[in-house]
Copies of this chain bind each other. A is one copy, B any other.
Amino acid sequence: MAALAIDLEGGDFGPSRLLPASIQFFQNHPQHSGTLFGSASLQSSLPSLPANLRFEPCAGALPPTLNPGRLLRHEYGSSIERAVSELKQQRVDAVVSSEHTGILMALLHRHGRVHPALDRPVLVSWVPTSKEAMLMLDLGASFSATAEQLLGFAAVGVAIASGQLARKPRLALLNLGVEANKGPQSIRLAAEHLARWPEIDYRGFVEAGEVFQGDLDLVITDGFTGNAVIKAAEGTLDLTLGAIRHALNRDLVGKLLGYLLRNRLRPIMRQLDPRRSNGALLAGTDMALIKSHGDATGVAFQAALTRAVEASEGHWCTAILAQLDTLQDQSAATH
């Protein structure tokens, strides 16, 4: 049983997409409850809500070109600020928003204390593979990462994955080769530490081409590289499917083949598309904040709501802060 706060503004479509998706989710999950934060102008045209869902009017969306840094000093009364404030006051268990990462980070900084083992909140994503989805982080604003930062990311990931899996999480560090002497010093140093962590099944280095094969539970990298890898995968998937479509649309036989193929290939293509695995956690504070893709479909937004329920019921924030404490204690003991 989880209580969620939902930011109806933000993202590419706002309430027109997020409101119906939320209503459907809470109709299907009567055990959970939700508070929708949206512009007061919505109130007059609001459809009837299920009993476990209520609407809280507010000033609406943030100014579209807002510099996130301004949120540290100014209040706009926007839907996302109201939702995060509700979470801070522990009136809900988790927040789901489609706002930009920078906005969400600034609000975490406004309200929360980021664990000192991290420089800033980290973005944990669930990435589809040919088997199970796996966790990958950081996908946030770490442009490069020291060994200490990489270990911080690993601790966050381990806390979540350990709660989800019956086995020790299989963890690997993204690198440009699998041999121990490959890559920058920071990654090799992190590897030496991780090889001694008792709570993981450490798998060494992984190259970007093998990340999606589904043999790992956790892949650790800096935010810049993580971002590039995910986007390169999305781009290649689009390009490949586009090329297939183009090759089939050339003539009548091709179109017939395409028609026969469509239903056969659709499920597997959906499984592989990183965009479908929606709902990333901004981790490292005591607040469970789930970021949805800005262009998420209604189904994908409901996946983000499910992630928020998991975060709440799995006590991810508490587990993450405890794991980061352990990391800090170990680090203090070895220095």
Contacts and interface: CB of A to CB of B under 8 A. Distances in A.
Interface in A223-270: 223-225, 227-244, 246-248, 253-254, 257, 260-261, 264-265, 268-269
Contacts of A212: 232, 235-236, 239
Interface string A182-226: 011000000000000000000000011111110000000001110
A13 interface: no
A232 B208 contact: yes
A262 to B, nearest CB: 11
Report how many copies the assembly holds.
2
A176 interface: yes
Interface in A115-134: 130
Contacts of A230: 208, 232
A224 B184 CA distance: 9
Given A207-B231, A232-B232, 18 more contacts: A143-B183, A143-B184, A176-B224, A184-B224, A208-B227, A208-B229, A208-B230, A208-B235, A210-B235, A212-B239, A228-B229, A232-B233, A239-B272, A240-B241, A243-B269, A243-B271, A247-B265, A257-B260
18 contacts: A144-B144, A144-B184, A176-B227, A208-B230, A209-B231, A209-B232, A213-B239, A228-B228, A229-B232, A230-B232, A236-B237, A240-B241, A243-B269, A244-B265, A247-B265, A253-B260, A257-B257, A261-B261
